């Protein structure tokens, strides 16, 4: 049985409500930034290996054009509105996948279920990111990978402090924290960083490849 006692249900409900509210206009909101994100998504998915792959925080399905064609895909999202749009996108792309509601903080999968787990721009929004990363660690097989594409707090301290100041406002409007220290969270979750690559925006956007520390 999964242990959900540490989940902050109030914060999780707030996150779900925010993204439900934004789900109808989410793709429109990200039209311009997505032009920059698409090559990064493609780079990430080139690292993904099956046969079983989990994507958490599938959103409206922006990664679907890059899903490998020879793997079994499972994808979850916290928000019904986002997931309904992901299902429509999967239908339009003639993709077969197991798409359902789920919370990365309490994944409804047995231990060691997947060869690779993927998240893109997700852990900025997870109420307890360390808990979510530990869940990915649990459901990925020994020798498997966790691959993340995330924006993090700037390594430039002046910019980082500005991000700290703006973060409460951005969270209210967009739902995402702009000052998450995801590399540190990965280490706190007991995962090993095999690779960290700065992709752009002055070290704010990073590609991370992780593995379980017990392998």
What pLDDT, in 10s, does the model give residues 127-183? 999 999 999 999 999 999 999 999 999 999 999 999 999 999 999 888 899 999 999
How far apart CA 120 and CA 179 sit, in angstroms, is 16
- Whether pLDDT at 5 is above 60: no
Whether 163 maps to a domain, the answer reads: no
Whether 207 maps to a domain, the answer reads: yes
Determine the pLDDT at residue 215.
Answer: 64
DSSP one-letter code for 175? S
Number of domains in the chain: 1
Whether 173 maps to a domain, the answer reads: no
Determine the pLDDT at residue 85.
Answer: 96
Angle between helices 9-22 and 80-92 (to 10 degrees): 50
Q: Which residue in 204, 108, 209 sits closest to 152, CA to CA? A: 204
- Whether pLDDT at 37 is above 60: yes
Residues spanned by the domain of 14 = 9-152+179-212
Whether 170 maps to a domain, the answer reads: no
Whether 158 maps to a domain, the answer reads: no
pTM of the model: 0.93
Determine the pLDDT at residue 4.
Answer: 47
Whether 2 maps to a domain, the answer reads: no
Backbone phi, psi, residue 98, to 5°: -90, 105
CATH of the domain at 86: 3.40.50.150
Whether 204 maps to a domain, the answer reads: yes
| Token pair belonging to 42 | 């493609």
- Whether pLDDT at 68 is above 80: yes
Whether 200 maps to a domain, the answer reads: yes
Three-class SS of residue 83?
A: helix
Backbone phi, psi, residue 122, to 5°: -110, -45
How far apart CA 113 and CA 129 sit, in angstroms, is 20
Three-class SS of residue 188?
A: helix
Pairing of strands 191-200, 205-212: antiparallel
- Whether pLDDT at 123 is above 90: yes
Sign of CA dihedral 82, 208, 13, 140: positive
Distance, first Cα to last Cα, the chain: 24
How far apart CA 214 and CA 53 sit, in angstroms, is 20
Q: How many C-alpha atoms does 120 have within 13 Å on its Cβ side?
A: 22
- Average pLDDT of the chain is 93
Q: Which residue in 82, 154, 156, 92 sits closest to 122, CA to CA? A: 82
């Amino acid at each position: 049985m999964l242990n959900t006692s540490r989940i902050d249900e109030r914060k999780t409900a707030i996150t779900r409500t925010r993204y439900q509210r934004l789900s109808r206009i989410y793709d429109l909101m990200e039209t311009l930034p997505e032009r920059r994100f698409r090559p990064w998504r493609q780079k990430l998915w080139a690292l993904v290996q099956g046969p079983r792959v989990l994507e958490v925080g599938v959103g409206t399905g922006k990664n679907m054009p890059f899903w490998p064609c020879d793997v079994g895909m499972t994808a979850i999202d916290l928000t019904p509105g986002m997931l309904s749009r992901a299902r429509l996108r999967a239908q339009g792309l003639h993709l077969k996948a197991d798409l359902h509601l789920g919370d990365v903080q309490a994944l409804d999968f047995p231990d060691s279920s997947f060869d690779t787990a993927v998240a893109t721009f997700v852990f900025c929004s997870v109420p307890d990111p360390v808990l979510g990363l530990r869940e990915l660690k649990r459901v990925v097989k020994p020798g498997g990978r966790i691959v993340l594409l995330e924006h993090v707090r700037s390594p430039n301290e002046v910019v980082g402090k500005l991000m700290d100041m703006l973060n409460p406002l951005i969270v209210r409007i967009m739902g995402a924290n702009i000052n998450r220290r995801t590399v540190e969270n990965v280490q706190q979750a007991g995962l090993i960083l095999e690779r960290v690559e700065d992709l752009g925006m002055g070290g704010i956007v990073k590609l991370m490849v992780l593995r379980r520390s017990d392998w």
